[in-house]
Amino acid sequence: MTSRSFLPLVLAGAIAMGGVTLVAGPADAARPERTVPVRLLTINDLHGNLEPPSGSASRILDPKGPLVDTDGKLTGIVGGKYSIAGGAAYLATHLKQHTGRNTMVVAAGDLIGASPLISAAYHDEPTLDVLGQMGLKASSAGNHEFDEGYTELQRLMKGGCHPVDGCSPAGEWEGTDFDFLGANVLKERNDRYALPPYFVKSVNGVKVGFIGLVTATTPTIVSSSGIQGLKFTEEVAAANKVSRLLVRQGVKAQVVLVHEGDQVTPNQDPSACSVTPGNGSRIASGLDPQVDVVVSGHSHQAYVCKTTDPAGQPRYYTQGSSFGRVLTQIDFQVDKRTRDVVRSTVAAANHVVTRDVPEDRAVATSVALWKARSADIANKQVGRITAEIGITAAPSGELPLGNLIADSQLEATRTGGNAQIAFMNPGGVRMPLNYPGSPVGEGDGVVTYGEAFAVQPFNNLTQVITLTGAQLKTVLEQQFVGGPNNQAFTKILQPSSNFTYTYSRSAPWGSKVSAMKIDGVAVTDTQSIRVAVNNFLVGGGDAFAELKNGTDLWSGPLDIDAFVDYLGKHSPVAPPATNRITVVD
């Protein structure tokens, strides 16, 4: 535990305003001289995207954007105006351009983890280095901050070299200037906080408290081995407890940074609010009235919403997309006498991180340096593709790239593991493989190690377990919401090409799956089947509880190695068809 984080920290270089503060704010603001203006600039789900993301991962719907999509092929979104967005050096410039008085940069998690090679090659030290340069003051932990385990997250915060890979080319890691916060992450042993639960900053005489939360579903979506001994408790109760503690310390202006969020209606303006109420809305509306603003993440959506707190007051609830494509600006006034946020003064908007601004020179230099360090690894050509292999789901839930990865994992585990079929979790397919035929794609059909790594960045192991036919059917039922395994969203496992089945949209949970076949032969309930999945799924990840009941565990190569091998052996690789699953109503 980092002791430094539990003390209220005073902003170094806080701007002394000489007791007179001129405020431009809404007309109904409290009397200006009695309030201090504060601006938050927030990001979430950067996922180590130091370089500008490419292909569909770079696009964002933007009413001011220059691009009109004509075919909708990349994302399934038809029509609308888009900008190409993201890139740390552009983000740094946008942050500077939006920096006003008493500005703080904070974040809502998943800044690291599932990162491109430039950052992942050095355990995300490059991203943390750059975020420090951008002046980040605090972030909630996200589930992906636990990708390499709690011990590694502590190392990244405190400093020191990696226990296995040693120091990066930059030398001994110095640790972060900010903390990852987790008010709902406790040590099972003694119920103590495993991460600092909050961060307090003084701004021109007023204190602003930030409470960090990570989704309570974290144990179901990260590998269990890295979070042993930790528990992730319900978010609202955990935050309210810290909120009361902060009030006792006189910190009444409170912001919750929560790595949990909601889905939105497609095609919405980044500053609009059309969310499908889920866990994010539950938290945003349930937190104590003392909490003034809720900054969210995790769902990679952009929204600026006004919810209502339990006292009936409006309360902003925001998220800024992903990969550094959007930053959120939140302005408010803190009353010097009550020390609380004047709720009627809160205003928020999302800004697209366009690339029509100059790059921030210092950040661009850092990114270029890390790029050069990782270049030899990243630029190695591993194979070729004949067209973009995308991550847009077919109606069955199959992603072309998900199917390809399942095929690669089956091939890598047949010998040794005796795998007969393979499944890939759809959330682990992070980026498309781009091709020049697509509207904003890049590349020439050559796939580099860096590009392959961007698709499969987790360094998961391929593993093989034995399931009966009946267990396999249970696994596939567990893809759908409504079962006892508590699947939050329908998550269709990506099957290898030799496995086919049918599911019914309307059949009740438990009776959705039928006609399972391996190499065209019907699967029986009692038959033993060797199934290849990654170690995340073997641990019951994504709420696939039945996979934990597999037997005769065998571990194969890393998923990225299996993928790279497959691309090399089968070049040029065409996008696989998405015809392995049949859907009926």
CB nearer to Zn ion: give 298 or 580: 298
Decide: is 142 part of the binding site for Zn ion (CB under 5 A).
Answer: yes
Write down the least CB distance from residue 259 to Zn ion, Å.
Answer: 6
CA distances in angstroms from 325 to 48, 160, 351, 400, listed in the order given: 12, 31, 9, 25
Nearest to 23 by CA among 83, 102, 91, 79: 102
Residue with tokens 């697509």, as numbered in its chain: 438
User: For residues 207 and 298, which CB has a smaller minimum distance to Zn ion in the complex?
Assistant: 298
Shortest distance, position 298 Cβ to Zn ion, whole Å: 4
456 binding Zn ion? (CB under 5 A) = no
Is position 366 an interface residue for Zn ion (rule: CB under 5 A)?
A: no
Segment near Zn ion (CB under 5 A); pick from 73-81, 105-113, 410-418, 518-526? 105-113
Residue 282: CB minimum distance to Zn ion, A: 16
Secondary structure percentages of the chain, helix, strand, coil, to 5: 25, 30, 45
Among residues 261 and 556, whose Cβ is nearest to Zn ion? 261
113 part of the interface to Zn ion, by CB under 5 A:
no
Least distance CB 275 / Zn ion (angstroms): 16
Give ∠ CA 572-561-425 in degrees, rounded to 5. 90
* Residues contacting Zn ion: total by CB under 5 A: 4
Among 143, 218, 328, 578, binds Zn ion (CB under 5 A): 143
Q: Tell me whether residue 49 or residue 143 sits nearer to Zn ion (CB atom).
A: 143
Give the tokens for residue 43. Answer: 């990001």
Stretch of 297-305, 319-327, 407-415, 453-461 lying at the interface with Zn ion (CB under 5 A) = 297-305
Which residue, 48 or 142, has its beta carbon nearer to Zn ion? 142
What is the CA angle 525-528-530, rounded to 5? 130
Residues 6+ apart with CB under 8 A from 482: 508, 509
Q: Closest distance between Zn ion and the C-beta of residue 73, in Å?
A: 27
Separation of CA 364 from chain center = 23
Q: What are the CA-CA distances from residue 536 to residues 222, 259, 583 (Å)?
A: 7, 20, 27
Q: In angstroms, what is the minimal distance from the CB of 327 to Zn ion?
A: 18
**Nearest distance, CB of residue 114 and Zn ion, angstroms:** 9
Which of 59, 201, 298, 325 contacts Zn ion by CB under 5 A? 298
**320 touching Zn ion, by CB under 5 A:** no
> Which region, judged by CB under 5 A, interacts with Zn ion, from 56-64, 69-77, 134-142, 378-386?
134-142
Which residue is at the shortest CB distance from Zn ion? 298
In the bound state with Zn ion, the residue whose beta carbon lies nearer, of 279 and 374, is 279
Write down the least CB distance from residue 106 to Zn ion, Å: 16
Least separation in angstroms between residue 532's CB and Zn ion is: 25
Burial 51-69, CB ≥16 within 10 A → b, else e: bbbbbbbbbbbbeebebeb
143 vs 448, beta carbon nearer Zn ion? 143
Instruction: Tell me the C-alpha to C-alpha distance, in Å, between residue 560 and each of 13, 50, 334, 565.
Output: 45, 21, 49, 8
Of 296 and 366, nearer to Zn ion (C-beta) is 296
Among the residue ranges 295-303, 311-319, 352-360, 431-439, the one whose residues contact Zn ion (CB under 5 A): 295-303
Binding segment for Zn ion (CB under 5 A), chosen from 139-147, 347-355, 439-447, 507-515, is: 139-147
Measured over the CA atoms of residue 566, residue 570, residue 575 and residue 580, the dihedral's sign is: negative
Q: Is 53 helix (H, G, I), strand (E, B) or coil?
A: coil
Among 110, 145, 179, 407, binds Zn ion (CB under 5 A): 110
Rounded to a whole number, what is the distance in angstroms from the first to the last CA of the chain? 52
- Both tokens of 321, joined, read 């997309």
Task: Please give the sequence-ordered ranges of beta strands (E in DSSP) within 48-89, or none if there are none.
Answer: 59-61, 67-68, 81-84
Contact between 322 and Zn ion (CB under 5 A)?
no
Please tell me the number of Cα atoms within 13 Å of 498 on its side-chain side. Answer: 16
Q: How far is the CB of 57 from Zn ion (least distance, A)?
A: 16
Q: Give the footprint of Zn ion on this chain (CB under 5 A).
A: 110, 142-143, 298
